[in-house]
Chains A and B, each alone.
Chain A
Amino acid sequence: MDAEKALALLRSRLCDPNYVHATFKSSEESNYCKLKVLIMNSISDACNNSILLLGPRGSGKVAIVDLVLEDLKTQLPDSISVIRLNGLLHSDDNFALKEIARQLCLDHQLLFSKMASSDDNAGFMIDMLKECGLSHKSIIFVLDEFDLFAQGKQRLLYSLLDAMQTVTSQAVVIGVSCRLDADKLLEKRVRSRFSHRKLLFVPPSREDVRRLLEHILYLPKDIGLLSEYVAEFNSKIQDILNDKKFQEILDSVLIFNGTISNLVQFIFRAVASLNLESGLLSLENFKDSQICCQRQPKTHILQDVSILELYILVCMNRLECKEQNSYNFNSVMKEYKAIHEAYKTSDNYGDTVCLRAFEHLLERELIGFVDNKGRNLSIELQPVKLLISPHELYLGLKSSSSCPAILQKLFDHESFR
């Protein structure tokens, strides 16, 4: 019972980015504080501002923005109005203007007409900015996937930033992007109206990671669970966190993707495999999670490919080693028959069967066509290439349970000449 409640609690914490990133609310130097200070200042000084949040995917930029806005809404409920746009959905300028108008109408309980043209919407936006400026209300524009807005003519960005400059408005534009050079994508006239404030989101340091883990994993005492259970759970977590092996596991997970989201995914997987009988997390959970997170899909797929398909892959590898620039199915078949004649293997199959195996490999995306130009030709004639590296193929052959020795010999001979 208790274990189930604990599991539910941990899962809901991990799936809530706001909770996860709230770890860093209290620290002085964090991006959260900087952003909050900036927005508070611009609201109180009644001025316009713009800022870019940049960082790799999963660093929590949008989560931080959400946290800041939530706090501001509770502190100053009537002074801000938030408009959210996403570059994936609203990169078309007309659409974006329509969306801005719609959200403004929603916020201020006005009726929104779907028939309004984009000029109407633009005019409406400027009017609203003026009105809100006069009544000391700040409009905060959050532009997610900012780099996608910077494609094309950047009309929206220009009109927005221009309106902020000329009209008596109080607006803050927060751009969020995963491209670190997002500001270089802006046109000259847009960039001149954009203040060059940037907040960089870097991967968390070790202490931050430790704080994050403690914040997520420690159970609180006051939610109706048995206090002995809570104490036991928390002490187990502390042991794990202090364990050197856990540190190694954590390092290996974070070394190729140090973002917070990757860490959350790793912990979620470990938490999901919580042993309900004992109700405690153990190092084993984290070890299994690490293995799952670091799977190599292509090597595993090679384990399950049939032997004929392995033959075809090895033939293609040989052709590539012989530096044939372009080859197609017919050349692969020639090589295959040559191998059969040389070594008298038992796996000599007809052309149609081999073509079927070839098509399976295409479906699995282990091999692919070189380009799309050869669409008029039949499959046997279009040039193909391998989509796995020789090393992956080598690992796959080694780990395949039923791979005939001849293939390994052929392969070794080629690459370790």
Chain B
Amino acid sequence: MTAEGMILRTPTRRITRSSAVTPSKTSPLSPPSVPCPAAEPSSSGDRDPLSLDELLSLLPGRKPQILELLRLIGPSNSPMLPVLLYGGPWTGKTATVLRVFQHLRRRFVYASCRSCYCPRILFETVLDQLLCHKRRRENGYWSAKRCDKPANFVDLLRDALIQATSAQKSCSSGENDQMIYLIFDNVELIRSWDKGSLILQMLFRIPDLLKVRNVGLIYISCALPDAYYSMVGSSLEPSYIYFPDYNYSLDDIHNILIRNQVNPKLYSCFLSVVLKPFSRITRRIDELAIAFKPLFKKYCEALTDPRLIPDEAAKRRLFDHLQPHLTISMNEIFNVPSWSSSEIDKERSINQRGKLRNLSGKEASGELDIHMSLSAKYLLISAFLASRNPATLDGALFDSTGGSDNNRKRKRKSFQTSMDKQDNLAEEILIKGPGTFPLERLLVIFQCITSTVEYEAEEVQLENGEPTEGSHAHLMSDVLLQLSTLCNANFICKSNSCPLEGSRRYRSMIDEDMAFKVARRVNFPLSKYIYRR
């Protein structure tokens, strides 16, 4: 672990997080590839020592919390009451604790309840670290002790602590620091485990159960301390010290994002434009970092020399260049760029420019990002219609011979006759969501739609004077296979089967925007078919 300005994180924990791990240079939170800072009770000497100033500069905005934590942990070889750190996600709790221990150079054991997802793994991880046991191929990746139940854990933990303390006494000279610190991360996840509340109570009572003086406990949690109050008297209240880690202020976010930038002044100008509006939406650093990355690229496009520090005129120019992209970007989240070839990119940029002028602030992402086969698209549209429209309308809307004029007329009639029902239906759709439909209805609608399409396509092609070879005939093939694909992708979901008929019922899970995107792709006039108020 080199003394770069990177916040320490352990890969075992971050890999299981869904929002993590973009090895980008601009994001200051990219994980270093370093093993977990386990407490080899021999020494933590493979870590470079940190002075207090370095510690404070590595974690901007956290000075009061760091000082308080240092006070609570106290001088070396002095016991402490257990401490609970709480705060929202991405507020630097784990980073603060680990860096503080790197600064203090004391022995600690770290276990995260995210990577240790069941009690046995949690217990065995803690014991392995205390007994300096590494799982290797030679010992068949077994842990040092097998430990399933909390009672076993308490006994084995006591033995391991005594062993670790005596090992320390015998090998090191002079220092005589007997305290061992146990750090449990993400303890709020234990609540959702099997028998979680019992394990949580046991975990919080470890100092009382162990009756060992030289252990210090630190718990890190995303949930507020209120979440740990149980029915039988709070397990926390007696001897716990809460220690909040609030979110950062805007200045702190500014400082954090600026680190690791090639040109900090340029990024600072960029942030002064961008940070305030985006922070009205979200204040989480991970999301801001991900949103800012493509924007910063666009911002720098207008610059001739990326190392330049812009003056006022240049700043204004850059801002004007960035402006149209800002509003679009604020309405997007997690824009995952898809890899496309350069021609498609060029074509897309031409389209985009036109779209930008037209849409001006509304949602501009009219393009469907997912590749689907043609029949899957039609199936999706049919499912959406089947979920949205009541079954009684099907006869009116779908005519196997096509003819959209007839459809339109009929639709108007049914609308004028029942206005109240429409309002109620809209309300119901909001609350209950899309309705279910049996498979047969889906297939009927699908067939109606595709036969209409075939009819129109045949018309078009006959005009061209070329005979069709039934190129759309394979729309009907493998429909059930497509359906199961869509179910697996969660666009359509299976709901309970109807008790009377016994057939499976399905429900469409896509929202209106997506349905419109799909319909636009295949030039299907979806709005004519939707039952609207």
Contact = CB atoms under 8 A, between A and B. Distances in A.
A103 to B, nearest CB: 10
Interface stretch (B40-48, B235-243, B267-275): B235-243
A178 to B, nearest CB: 5
A11 B213 CA distance: 12
A272 B71 contact: yes
5 contacts: A292-B241, A295-B244, A306-B279, A330-B430, A352-B331
A15 B73 CA distance: 12
Contacts of A15: 79-81, 213
A187 interface: no
Nearest to B224: A297
A304 B280 contact: no
Most chain A CB atoms below 10 A, which of B154, B235, B279, B283? B283
A57 interface: yes
A306 B278 CA distance: 10
Interface string B196-237: 001001100100110001000000001111110000111101
A4 B78 CA distance: 11
Interface in A330-360: 330-331, 334, 347, 349-353, 356-357, 360
A16 interface: yes
A112 interface: no
Interface string B341-367: 000000000000000000000010000
B241 A8 contact: no
Interface in B117-157: 149-151, 154
Interface in A364-417: 364-365, 376-378, 380-381, 402
Given A297-B86, A365-B223, A57 B284 contact: no
A14 to B, nearest CB: 7
B330 A353 contact: yes
Given A301-B88, A328-B431, A179 B232 contact: yes
Given A297-B86, A376-B493, A7 B74 contact: yes
Contacts of A305: 283
B433 interface: yes
Interface in A31-59: 56-58
B74 A262 contact: no
B390 interface: no
Contact of B226 (A57, A90, A265, A298): A298
Contacts of B294: none
A257 interface: yes
A306 B74 CA distance: 35
Contacts of B237: 57-58, 257, 261-262
Interface string A178-208: 1100000000000000000000000000000
A70 to B, nearest CB: 12
Contacts of B154: 89
A356 B333 contact: yes
Contacts of A334: 430
Interface in A62-116: 62, 86, 88-90, 95, 99
Nearest to B513: A351
A62 B207 CA distance: 13
B89 A363 contact: yes
A269 interface: yes
Interface in A227-268: 257, 259, 261-262, 264-265, 268
Nearest to A96: B151
Interface in B50-94: 71-72, 74-75, 77-81, 86, 88-89
Contacts of B232: 147, 178-179
Contacts of A300: 244, 246
Given A62-B208, A265-B238, A304-B283, 13 more contacts: A8-B78, A58-B239, A89-B202, A99-B151, A147-B232, A178-B232, A261-B239, A265-B240, A269-B241, A297-B224, A306-B279, A363-B89, A380-B511
Contact of B213 (A16, A86, A328): A16
Contacts of A7: 74-75, 78
Given A262-B237, A297-B226, A89 B209 contact: yes
A352 B81 contact: no
Interface in B456-505: 493, 495
Interface string B303-342: 0000000000000000000000000001111000000000
B171 interface: no
B281 interface: yes
B239 A88 contact: no
Interface string A300-315: 1101111111000000
B282 interface: yes
Contacts of A165: none
A257 B234 CA distance: 12
Contacts of B242: 292, 295, 297
A154 interface: no
Contact of B241 (A268, A356, A363): A268
A214 to B, nearest CB: 21
Contact of A303 (B150, B246, B513): B246
Nearest to B236: A57
Contacts of A351: 511, 513
Nearest to B242: A295
Nearest to A363: B89
Contact of B75 (A8, A347, A357, A377): A8
A349 B282 CA distance: 12
B38 interface: no
B432 interface: yes
Contacts of A265: 81, 238-241
B227 A308 contact: no
B43 to A, nearest CB: 23
A350 B331 contact: yes
Contacts of B226: 297-298
Nearest to B250: A402
A308 B280 contact: yes
A11 B78 contact: yes
A71 B348 CA distance: 84
A365 B431 contact: no
Contact of A58 (B151, B238, B241, B493): B238
A88 to B, nearest CB: 5
B12 interface: no
B260 interface: no
A268 B284 CA distance: 33
A273 interface: yes
Contacts of B235: 57
Contacts of A135: none
A117 interface: no
A95 B431 contact: no
Contacts of B431: 326-328, 330-331, 381
A58 B281 CA distance: 43
B330 A349 contact: yes
Given A11-B79, A88-B198, A381 B240 contact: no
A352 B430 contact: no
Nearest to B248: A304
B332 A178 contact: no
Contacts of B75: 4, 7-8
A30 interface: no
A261 B208 CA distance: 12
A353 B81 contact: no
Nearest to B205: A88
Contact of B224 (A86, A99, A301, A347): A301
| A-B pairs, 7 with minimum CB distance | A304-B247, A58-B238, A261-B238, A89-B151, A15-B79, A381-B433, A57-B233
B509 interface: yes
Given A99-B151, A351-B511, A356 B282 contact: yes
Contacts of B333: 352-353, 356
B151 A90 contact: yes
B281 A306 contact: yes
Contacts of B205: 88
A178 B201 CA distance: 14
A307 B224 contact: no
A356 B224 CA distance: 21
Interface string B378-418: 00000000000000000000000000000000000000000
